Amino acid sequence: MNPGQLGTIIILVLILIVIGSGFVIYRRIRKKLRDFSNMVFGTPDLVQGLKSVEKETEITPKSVAAATSLYLPNIMRDFPEFHYDEMKKRAENVLVSFLCGVDGQNPELLSEGTSELRNKLKMRIDMHRQEGKEEHFRNIKIHRTEIRLYRRRQGRCSIILQSAVQYNYFVDKGGVKMEGSRERLKQSRYDVEMIYIQDRDVVENLEDAGLAMNCPNCGAPLPGLGAKKCAYCDSPIVEFSLRTWSFSDVKEV
């Protein structure tokens, strides 16, 4: 056997060793991946496991900051005529109508709200029109709505409700899909803020407007929003109806 043949044989042997070692390493890695996939996803197919997690994420509602039991007693103390179920339904209607307004590029679809909320919707629509974009929300479904926050700041009252929402979300530009999917669901959370308005004509254009909790006769602070009369001058306090609540903001969180 000449040196050239011997060299060729050595090279072939080395190649076979490398191939064999690579095959052994590949089998070990594949086994580890199968074991990992079985442990995490319950299936030996890692790709299938990742797809199942992706699908589960698609259909699993987001959790919401549920502080209703904490804040509702305080709200009922300040507003004895407050009807939580009705207010929650109104907030959900505002949220859905806001998203429908974006989808249809029509601010008139907003069911109710302050001028600030209507302007926010209009500005969003105008911005998309200038950019040649269409933002769509289809098959909207609200899973759950809870009170996230109740606050009285500088004599103003506001309630923030948080909703877990699902929809098909996609953005088109010039007929080309830019974001999202028409087929896949998206899960999200939205805050809807409502404020207590004393005189809608006066505060319609004021941001974060709300009730100044003072006696209209002597100006003394009221002990609570459910007070029937002033503790200082005995002047009767006019109770305000549910219509004095208005919605001032909608935002994804």
In the DSSP assignment, the letter for residue 19 is H
Report whether pLDDT(10) > 60. yes
Give the pLDDT confidence score for residue 8 in this predicted structure. Answer: 77
Three-state secondary structure call for residue 166: strand
Instruction: Output the six-digit token pair for 88.
Output: 């929650």
Give the pLDDT confidence score for residue 27 in this predicted structure. Answer: 81
Give the pLDDT confidence score for residue 205 in this predicted structure. Answer: 44
User: Alpha-carbon distance 35 to 44, whole Å?
Assistant: 7
Least confident window among 53-57, 135-139, 164-168, 245-249: 53-57
Please give the residue that has the higher pLDDT: either 9 or 80: 80
Kindly report the average pLDDT of the chain as a whole number. Answer: 82
Least confident window among 55-64, 106-115, 235-244: 235-244
Give the pLDDT confidence score for residue 203 in this predicted structure. Answer: 44
100-146 per-position pLDDT tens digit: 999 999 999 999 999 899 999 999 999 999 999 999 999 999 999 99
* End-to-end CA, the chain: 77
Cβ atoms of 173 and 131 closer than 8 Å: yes
Closest by Cα among 119, 128, 125 to 101 = 125
Instruction: Output the six-digit token pair for 191.
Output: 């805050």
Give the pLDDT confidence score for residue 212 in this predicted structure. Answer: 46
Please give the residue that has the higher pLDDT: either 184 or 232: 184
Least confident window among 84-88, 190-194, 197-201, 220-224: 197-201
User: Alpha-carbon distance 106 to 110, whole Å?
Assistant: 8
Closest by Cα among 157, 154, 161, 151 to 225 = 157
Report whether pLDDT(173) > 80. yes
User: Quick one: average pLDDT of 49-61?
Assistant: 70
Give the pLDDT confidence score for residue 207 in this predicted structure. Answer: 43
Please give the residue that has the higher pLDDT: either 73 or 6: 73
In the DSSP assignment, the letter for residue 154 is T
Count of beta carbons in the 10 Å neighbourhood of residue 245: 23
Report whether pLDDT(202) > 80. no
> Is the Cα dihedral 88, 97, 151, 243 positive or negative?
negative
